[in-house]
Amino acid sequence: MKYDIRPIEERDIDECVNMAIETFGTNHYPKEQFDSIREELMMGLQEPHWGRPNYFVCELGSGKIVGMAGYVQSWLDWDTFEFFWLSVRKGYYGKGIGKALVEYREQEIISKSAFKDDVTIMFSCTREVIKYHEKHGYGILLEKAAGKEVIMGKTFMKK
């Protein structure tokens, strides 16, 4: 399957919001949280500055968006980053799209990390996807939401 990963564009926003709802559903997250994703995605279109989220889409050669993901530099530390919204359209699971988006974000972060020799990435997720993220080297840092969610992370050396 041929696809490209590129920065999100305004024309992608509605499709990405719908994909997030389709991927995550409302059993774990309240509907209002999905209302705010539009604002988050729009922030990613603003002029680059520290603290602004960066979003990417995975697009098939036909122009169909089949995945999206984002990250932001943390306020905690300039070499700490947070992942957002790793989402793959149903029907495209198991085709390497999620892995490609994870690796793309990691490479983007390494290229933007400025000070230390190591980089830390963290994110929140539900228990259902822990095994997936463990395959990419992430580990559980702590539990939250009465054990229904976890914070996962990984620190790795820049090359």
The full set of domains in the chain, from first to last, is: 3-114 (3.40.630.30)
Quote the pLDDT of residue 142: 93
Q: Which residues pair with 68 in a beta bridge?
A: 57, 87
What's the rounded Cα separation, in Å, for the pair 143 and 36? Answer: 24
pLDDT digits (tens, 9 = 90+) for 77-136: 878 899 988 889 989 988 999 999 999 999 888 887 766 788 899 998 888 888 999 999
Decide the pairing of beta strands 65-73 and 3-7: unpaired
pLDDT digits (tens, 9 = 90+) for 31-73: 676 677 777 788 777 766 667 788 999 999 888 999 999 998 8
What's the rounded Cα separation, in Å, for the pair 139 and 89? Answer: 25
pLDDT digits (tens, 9 = 90+) for 140-158: 999 987 878 899 999 988 7
